[in-house]
């Protein structure tokens, strides 16, 4: 988050603390009214995640204030969009699940398909078009460089099948061992690790082990 975004969160927090008692609000009630996870509300208010435009509009409505009261920048952005207000056709993209934890535990969740319970997962906002079954995962290794730098946060849409040339999140098996890797689909079901310094770069996973297509990436400095 940059300085402006941190200042916006700090000002939103001051407004919330000033009005929460009169409006009978807490983080749980805000989450219900905004239809998001309680952890996401906390992250917006406490400056862990930047406040996206659609969330700013929701906060303003619920806290009975103006967007400009905590973010003149977003107020200008909303005005420039013209229809970026509740009740119009402005698109609101849902938050995405942030996968945390040991890789072996993440793989178990992915194979079971039970990681969409948002009550048990941290959420982050991804402002570009994506399905509701999209997740974020930190790139731990360097196997995908230069396509995906180590430490970046990859955004993976599990409902999009990768085309040739796309990078995907794949479970790579070696006997009983499994690992998550980011690899490029190079044709006929074969994937290649983009980093030429890695050995055994080419492999062919089972179709069920191709988790989804990488649709973007961002730094994760929270």
pLDDT for 194-215, tens place per residue? Answer: 999 998 999 999 988 999 999 9
Task: Specify whether 53 is located in the same domain as 125.
Answer: no
Query: What pTM, to 2 d.p., does this model score?
Result: 0.58
For residue 4, pLDDT over 50 is answered with yes
- Please check whether residue 89 lies inside any domain of the structure: no
- Please check whether residue 32 lies inside any domain of the structure: yes
Task: Specify whether 107 is located in the same domain as 156.
Answer: yes
- Please check whether residue 187 lies inside any domain of the structure: yes
CATH number at residue 36: 1.10.260.40
pLDDT at residue 92 in the model: 42
Task: Specify whether 101 is located in the same domain as 77.
Answer: no
- Please check whether residue 88 lies inside any domain of the structure: no
For residue 89, pLDDT over 60 is answered with no
pLDDT at residue 13 in the model: 95
pLDDT at residue 185 in the model: 95
Residues 6+ apart with CB under 8 A from 187: 164
Give the residue numbers spanning the domain of 16.
3-81
Distance in Å from the first CA to the final CA of the chain: 7
pLDDT at residue 109 in the model: 86
pLDDT at residue 155 in the model: 94
pLDDT at residue 62 in the model: 95
DSSP states of 21-49: HHHT--HHHHHHHHTS-HHHHHHHHTTSS
Task: Specify whether 120 is located in the same domain as 209.
Answer: yes
Task: Specify whether 124 is located in the same domain as 186.
Answer: yes
The pLDDT of 70-89, averaged and rounded, is 61
Last residue of a domain, one of 81, 111, 137: 81
> Do 153 and 205 touch, CB atoms closer than 8 A?
no
Task: Specify whether 168 is located in the same domain as 206.
Answer: yes
Task: Specify whether 117 is located in the same domain as 77.
Answer: no
- Please check whether residue 91 lies inside any domain of the structure: no
- Please check whether residue 87 lies inside any domain of the structure: no
What percent of the chain has pLDDT above 90?
A: 54
Task: Specify whether 110 is located in the same domain as 72.
Answer: no
pLDDT for 135-191, tens place per residue? Answer: 999 999 899 999 999 999 999 988 888 999 999 999 999 888 999 999 999 988 999
> Do 104 and 97 touch, CB atoms closer than 8 A?
no
The pLDDT of 41-57, averaged and rounded, is 90
């Amino acid at each position: 988050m940059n300085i402006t975004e941190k200042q916006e969160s700090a000002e939103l927090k001051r407004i919330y603390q000033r009005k929460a008692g009169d409006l009978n609000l807490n983080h749980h009630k805000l989450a219900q009214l905004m239809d998001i996870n309680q952890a996401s509300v906390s992250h917006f208010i406490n400056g862990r995640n930047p406040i996206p435009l659609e969330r700013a509009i929701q906060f303003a409505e619920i806290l009975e204030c103006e967007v400009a009261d905590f973010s003149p920048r977003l107020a200008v952005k909303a005005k420039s969009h013209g229809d970026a207000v509740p009740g119009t056709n402005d698109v609101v993209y849902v938050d995405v699940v942030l996968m945390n934890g040991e890789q072996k535990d993440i793989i178990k969740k992915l194979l079971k398909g039970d990681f969409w319970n948002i009550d048990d997962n941290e959420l982050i906002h991804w402002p570009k078009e994506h399905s509701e079954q999209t997740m974020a995962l930190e790139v731990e290794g360097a196997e995908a460089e230069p396509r995906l730098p180590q430490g970046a946060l990859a955004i993976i849409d599990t409902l999009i099948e990768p085309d040739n040339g796309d990078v995907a999140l794949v479970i790579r098996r070696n006997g009983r061992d499994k690992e998550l890797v980011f690899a490029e689909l190079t044709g006929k079901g074969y994937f290649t690790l983009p980093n030429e310094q890695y050995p055994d770069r080419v492999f062919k996973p089972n179709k069920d082990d191709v988790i989804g297509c990488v649709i973007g990436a961002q730094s994760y400095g929270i």
